[in-house]
Amino acid sequence: MAKILPSPLYSAEQEHDACGVGCIAKLTGERSHDVLKRAIDALKALAHRGAIDADAVTGDGAGLLTQLPLELFKAYLTERKKALFREQDLGVGMIFLPRGDEYAQAHAKKIVEAAIKAEGLAWLDWREVPTDSSCLGRKAIETQPLIVQALVARKEDLADDEFERKLFLAQKCIERQVAEAKIEGFYVCSFSSRTIIYKGLLTPIQLRRYFTDLKSPLFTTAFAIFHQRYSTNTFPTWHLAHPFRMMAHNGEINTIRGNRNRMRARENSVSHGVWGDRFADLKPLVQPAMSDSASFDNTLQLITLGGRSPLHAAMMMMPPAWEKDKKFSAETRGFFRYHAGMMEPWDGPAAVVFTDGLTIGAALDRNGLRPARYKIFDDGYFILASEAGLVHDFPGKVVEAGRLGPGRMLALDLVEHKFYHDEEIKARFTTDTKFKQWCTEHLVNIQAAPAAAPAVAPAAPSVVDQLAFGYDHDEIELILTPLAEGLEPTGSMGDDTPMAVLSRRPRLLYPYFKQLFAQVTNPPIDSIREKAVMSLTGYLGGRLSLFEELPKTTGLVEFDSPILFDHEVAALFEVSFLKDRVVRLPALFDASQGPDALEGAVKALAAQAEAAVAKAGAKLLIISDRGATATQAAIPMLLAVGAVNQQLVRAGLRLQADLVAETGEARDVHQIATLLGFGVNAVNPYLALELIAGLAAA
């Protein structure tokens, strides 16, 4: 027999594992223990996608998200001589308490019970979740929480969605009060009338052995989302194991810092939708000190319980690359364009499986760099996972198989017992012409607007200007000159400049933040795919509310690139709905007053920005260092915009106005990216543009 040689394109050294995620469901909605058992078997087959600690036993984390096992809880309540009038009246909180601290446990339980009663719900009982820790590794045992379930019921004639909101509000109040009481080790895994989560610092093999509930035939469910964790950006802990309250994911959210900052800014929104005067009880909208996926989950849950379908919420958070996809209809493009003014993308690469207990969805972000394959069987079974072939003994025949593509989504409706492909989901939400019409009426593209004369006539760049903003000969020769010649600068290749903190020469602020920005993607993005999936489009003039449909606004300015030319900055003053609402604030200070003058100038600038938005109704602030002289020095622009951004966030005004940095400092990609990362929406690097124009004309 001829020997089969391995492919020359394959190298075992390039094998990389990542989190394993998936879902098994019965499309018929039939509950069974078999669904749970198959999900655990599938999870075991994903064990290689996690890691094992040096003790050879402790895992990174594994877990399941299922429907409430009603039979299990009914049996428990019957033993306790308590009964439900209706099964759907039950709500269950799965809670981690600090083990070994009875005082903290009692205090936390008291907070939970009080919050439940304050929401007008009936308190039923505490149930200590039966566990067997003999299978755990040393580190898992040392950090093991006490796991309990809070059993509650609705008393009033609440709709199902309103009942879920009541439980969510109770959960948020509990979390805030526990944090104020400084009780460590407390975490709410889930609090719902529809779903429950069993998870921990476990391996897939340990999950069923540890949680003995999972062995009970009374534990029945129509679906189970399963996850094996491979922690890359946080240390393994019990509470950071997946699934979270609505989702589990494979990948990472690379835009997480900006996403969290935006959600913090929304905490003082003036539009509250269904939350009404209870919106204040939702703070913080995103829990602090959590993982990227936990923050994603917090936001997904907030938007979904705020009145939107989880599919709609997921499309808002993980939009496809709609900007350059000609296959999308004008109505579909209008839908995503409208929501781009409302919610910034949570970009991966990431594959996400999510549910609200009624609908199960799975989606890939626009990069599409995580695997997700699915099969549908003729008996109603459905499986989707990071790998194919996890479960081999499904009784039915495969009627459909496929995989998710970039920006694509699929869904199972457990109420209507239907499966939806990506085209059907998008047609359900995006074909309404109201979004396209709204964009036509309220969005103005500044690059497409008629050119206007610059509001500030640019002077020819002088050597003094270049010295004031830290330019040197090498930058002009190796970076700016090739740009003026229409070439790509390669002077940064093999940069051996020491880290800013170790440098003997004065440096601008930007190099101190080099390590905050990813230099590569995983896997690497080639230039062709980068052009197809990435976008620099942004908006000026505030943000739309998350909780209102087609909110009223005077309008937003759209731009195709965050780098604005002088004439585009001037055009902002001519936009009809921004008339008298664009304010230019000088970022200068009196250098003759000594080193303490800078701090006072920064605080004064931040106060001016707050007053311009709160009192003058400004929609756009241009932070400018034009006019710097020997006596009137420029405030470092990164310091200036960071201070203004945070001042507006604290004042609850950040989403009412946007920021443009008009600066002579910025001249390379990292510097502009840093300004964008620290709060501005667009940058006018006027001195660099003037130098390039001069070099091109020479």
Helix axes 637-650, 256-265, angle to 10 degrees: 40
What sign does the CA torsion over 196, 198, 199, 204 have?
Answer: negative
Structure tokens at 337: 């364009």
Sorted by sequence, the CB contacts under 8 Å of residue 510 that are 6+ apart come out as: 638, 665, 670, 671, 674
Evaluate whether 218 touches 156 at the Cβ level (below 8 Å): no
**How, if at all, do strands 146-154 and 121-128 pair?**
antiparallel
Q: Where do the DSSP E strands lie in 343-450?
A: 350-355, 359-364, 373-377, 381-385, 398-403, 409-413, 418-420, 443-445
Sorted by sequence, the CB contacts under 8 Å of residue 431 that are 6+ apart come out as: 329, 331, 332
Q: Side-chain half-sphere of 531: how many Cα atoms within 13 Å? A: 2
* Rounded Cα–Cα distance for residues 38 and 561 (Å): 49
**How, if at all, do strands 359-364 and 381-385 pair?**
unpaired
- As a whole number of Å, the CA-based R_g of the chain is 28
Structure tokens at 550: 């087609």
| Element at 258 (helix H, strand E) | helix 256-265
Query: Per the residue annotation, which of 19, 173, 189, 439 is the catalytic one?
Result: 19
Query: Helix, strand, coil: what percent of the chain each, to 5?
Result: 40, 20, 40
Which amino acid belongs to residue 85? F
Q: Is 19 a catalytic residue?
A: yes
Catalytic residue positions, numbered? 19
